[in-house]
Structure formats: C-alpha cells, structure tokens
Amino acid sequence: MKGSLILKKVNSEFIRKIVEVSGVNVFACYQCGRCSASCPLVEEMDILPNQMVRLVQLGNEEVLNTATPWICATCFSCTARCPLGIDIAKLAEALRSISLRKNIDKVKINQISFGELMKLPQIALVSNFRKNTSVS
C-alpha cells in the first residue's frame, strides 16, 4: 500500500522521456557516489552527479533547473568508475536536450558583446551554442 502511494507521486512520463532519450536505466543506480567522487568538475556543480540521477529516479523535473547537466564535461570518468556502468554523461546530455526542447537557453547569444565575439575562438562559440542554446 505504501509503495503504491509513492508511485502515484512519481512523474513517470518525465522518467520515460529521460530513459528514451538517454538509453540509461536510471533505476540501476544504487547511489554509491563513485560518479560524484570521480567527477573533475564536481566543485562547480550545484548538485552532485549521483543526486542528479536520484532526482531523475524520483521523476523530479526540478533537475532541469540545476547547473550540473550543463557543467558536465562528458569526460566519462563517472561511467568508468560506476560499478554498474551507468552512463551519467549520457543522462546529463539527455537532460540538456530536454531543456533545450523546452526552449530553456543557458546562454543568451544576443547578450554577448561584439568585442567578446571578436576575441572568442569561433569553435568555442559554435560548441557552446550547440550545447547551451535551443537555436539551430
């Protein structure tokens, strides 16, 4: 009875979409924390990678408002250290994709000054825009 009450509160549609986009079985994670311990950018993140996974497991869409999926460098340290081989970098990419599909941009192109645009390498701009904006 108690378990069924918890399932009713879980946003299963959100979880289904994350699993579909990422191909990651988020329910395989048992929260050992090795992903967070191996992440070179963890100090820059607002939540730990294992906490990101837990929010997805719970169907909590607030995970889309965190900085962690955007800070992920996709270095695969987390995947290499995960005892179950869960690809957290793919999960972060799926969260970024879903955010961008909702037109939630993390970089405002029109707010970058002309001077900054002239100084920045074009490849950095293109890479950043592909990762952080919904503009095609």
What domains are there in the chain, each with its CATH number? 2-104 (1.10.1060), 106-136 (no CATH)
Please state the length of the chain.
Answer: 136
Per-residue HEC secondary structure of 1-27 comes to CHHHHHHHHCCHHHHHHHHHHHCCCHH
| Segment 30-54, tens digit of pLDDT | 999 999 999 999 999 999 999 999 9
| Segment 89-99, tens digit of pLDDT | 999 999 988 98
Which has more pLDDT, 63 or 114? 63
Find where tokens 């192109």 sit.
109
What is the dihedral sign for C-alpha 14, 76, 69, 58? positive
What pLDDT, on the 0 to 100 scale, is given for residue 101? Answer: 81
pTM of the model: 0.74
Nearest C-alpha neighbor of 54 from the set 86, 80, 21, 23? 86
What pLDDT, on the 0 to 100 scale, is given for residue 8? Answer: 47
| Segment 50-89, tens digit of pLDDT | 999 999 999 999 999 999 998 898 899 999 999 999 999 9
d(CA 83, CA 57): 18
Find where tokens 């100084």 sit.
119
